[in-house]
Amino acid sequence: MELEKYKIDEINHQQMNKHKCQFEYIGADISNIDDVLKKLTAFNITIPSWALGTGGTRFGRFSGGGEPRSLEEKIEDVGVIHALNKSSNSISLHIPWDIPENASSIKALAAHLGLHFDAVNSNTFQDQPDQKLSYKYGSLHHVDRAVRKQAIEHNIEVIKYGVQLNSKALSVWLSDGSNFPGQLNFRNAFQNTLESLQEIYDAMPDDWKVWIEYKPYEPNFYSTTIGDWGQSYLLSSKLGAKASTLVDLGHHLQGANIEQIVSLLLMEGKLAGFHFNDSKYGDDDLTVGSINPYQLFLIFNELVEGMDARGMNHATDLGWMIDASHNVKDPIEDLLQSVQAIKIAYAQALLVDKKELTAAQQNNDVALAQEILQQAYRTDVRPLIAEASLRAGGALNPIDTFRKLSVRDNLIKERGLKAVATGL
Ligand SMILES: [Mn+2]
């Protein structure tokens, strides 16, 4: 289904007076408001193809109805999200869950909805039904060269699909690791991974990038071969300029200072981008900003500061992607909330008074530095996000509009109550 703009406009119209009041109130306080709005409008966050169905856990999965049954329907759902928030103009595919059988018709559908394809993701953490060798003991790090070769070939195949769709990056997450002490020789596992990645790297087109994701544990619980940002950075440094480190917010041990990691990776030109989500305990894949919005703000503060220091374009020079999926919400509402939370954190970071903060840091004025950051964090920037969305042709309040237009009911009518998305 496709959302008609006039229906969104009608709901905006009903909310316009209240919005105008709120926008004028906050606008009076911000000197560079046009610049902030321009940056907010340009800032888009990629929707992963695997998040459009209801997520599951290893214990169960409770489908919500009207889920997309094909890649085409997943693209249509991203189209709905983008029509509402004007901030989700791309989709990231996971192979083999979402193989584009007919690239040109898939591309045409996406373009019709104002979408393009971001990074493609490989999958060597599961065995596929027609697969010759098993990944039970890992893929790119495997002790057996034949298994490594199979995993390398899969990644090269994913690149080929991506090239057909005009993607420009391959995102690699490995579950490779060990469950028990003694199971692995760490150095050999690392070297095998490096050699395998080098073969994949060499097969990439010149204008492509490879993003190397890390994760400390799960599904392996003793060691992960790319377990932290240092290990990922080591690999991406050895591979070359087209390789960099992808930060997934859920892939850290509790208490890790993610904003500091981000700052240093940016300094070295080795930050690929983000998988956004939130967590209370581990890789919970909860809605972005639902648990710790202050951390998200602090990360964006480092991003804005670090990107500005290198003269980078906030909207296009890093990969911004959601990697969250949960089992009790409507997936489209969940994604709308996530994008909203990201844009709020970004807007707040844009409001930080950099000059004053630098002066406070130089003077060791610790209390003032905190005041400056929290002044920005405690600003209710939602009218700014709404105004940016309105100017781009989206909804003032995307979730509210999604509900008022009964989008899910319409999807259930179209696809049925028992429609289950492919993927996780
Ligand atoms: Mn991820």
Q: Letter for the amino acid at 43?
A: F
The neighbour count for residue 353, using CB atoms within 10 Å, is 14
Q: What is the pLDDT of residue 268?
A: 98
**CA–CA distances in Å: residue 61 to residues 54, 278, 350, 411:** 7, 20, 39, 19
- Contact, 245 vs 270, CB < 8 A? yes
- Contact, 162 vs 98, CB < 8 A? no
Q: What is the pLDDT of residue 423?
A: 63
Instruction: Give CA torsion, residues 15, 352, 283, 238, to 10 deg.
Output: 130
Rounded to the nearest angstrom, the distance between the alpha carbon of 275 and the centre of ligand 1 is 5
Interatomic CA distance for residues 223 and 368, integer angstroms: 42
Using pLDDT thresholds of 50, 70 and 90, give the confidence band for residue 179: very high
Residue 414 in 3-state DSSP?
A: helix
Tell me the per-residue pLDDT of 339-375, one tens digit each, with 9 for 90 and over: 999 999 999 999 999 999 999 999 999 999 999 999 9
Residue 419 has pLDDT above 80, yes or no: no
Rounded to the nearest angstrom, the distance between the alpha carbon of 272 and the centre of ligand 1 is 12
Residue 422 has pLDDT above 70, yes or no: no
**CA–CA distances in Å: residue 228 to residues 66, 182, 217, 240, 387:** 38, 20, 10, 19, 39
Span 52-64, mean pLDDT? Answer: 82
Spatial CB neighbours of 277, under 8 Å, sequence gap ≥ 6: 248, 249, 250, 284, 285, 286, 287, 288, 322, 323, 324, 338
Rounded to the nearest angstrom, the distance between the alpha carbon of 323 and the centre of ligand 1 is 5
pTM listed for this prediction: 0.97
Residue 57 has pLDDT above 90, yes or no: no
Rounded to the nearest angstrom, the distance between the alpha carbon of 171 and the centre of ligand 1 is 9
Interatomic CA distance for residues 29 and 378, integer angstroms: 13
Q: Which of 83, 209, 84, 102 is nearest to 161 (CA)?
A: 102
Q: What percent of the chain has pLDDT above 70?
A: 99
**Cα dihedral 164, 96, 173, 40 sign:** positive
Rounded to the nearest angstrom, the distance between the alpha carbon of 213 and the centre of ligand 1 is 7
Specify the DSSP element, H or E, that contains 197: helix 186-203
Spatial CB neighbours of 371, under 8 Å, sequence gap ≥ 6: none
- Contact, 365 vs 51, CB < 8 A? no
Q: Which two structure tokens, joined as six digits, stand for 85?
A: 């928030």
Rounded to the nearest angstrom, the distance between the alpha carbon of 321 and the centre of ligand 1 is 9
Instruction: Specify which residues 275 forms β-bridges with.
Output: 248, 321
Rounded to the nearest angstrom, the distance between the alpha carbon of 283 and the centre of ligand 1 is 9
- Contact, 383 vs 26, CB < 8 A? yes
Rounded to the nearest angstrom, the distance between the alpha carbon of 411 and the centre of ligand 1 is 28
Tell me the per-residue pLDDT of 223-237, one tens digit each, with 9 for 90 and over: 999 999 999 999 999
Rounded to the nearest angstrom, the distance between the alpha carbon of 185 and the centre of ligand 1 is 26
Q: How far is the first Cα of the chain from the last one, in angstroms, to the nearest whole number?
A: 23
Tell me the per-residue pLDDT of 80-139, one tens digit each, with 9 for 90 and over: 999 999 999 999 999 999 999 999 999 999 999 999 999 999 999 999 999 999 999 999
Rounded to the nearest angstrom, the distance between the alpha carbon of 373 and the centre of ligand 1 is 28
Interatomic CA distance for residues 130 and 419, integer angstroms: 25
Instruction: Specify which residues 273 forms β-bridges with.
Output: 246, 319
Rounded to the nearest angstrom, the distance between the alpha carbon of 215 and the centre of ligand 1 is 9
Residue 421 has pLDDT above 80, yes or no: no
Rounded to the nearest angstrom, the distance between the alpha carbon of 307 and the centre of ligand 1 is 22
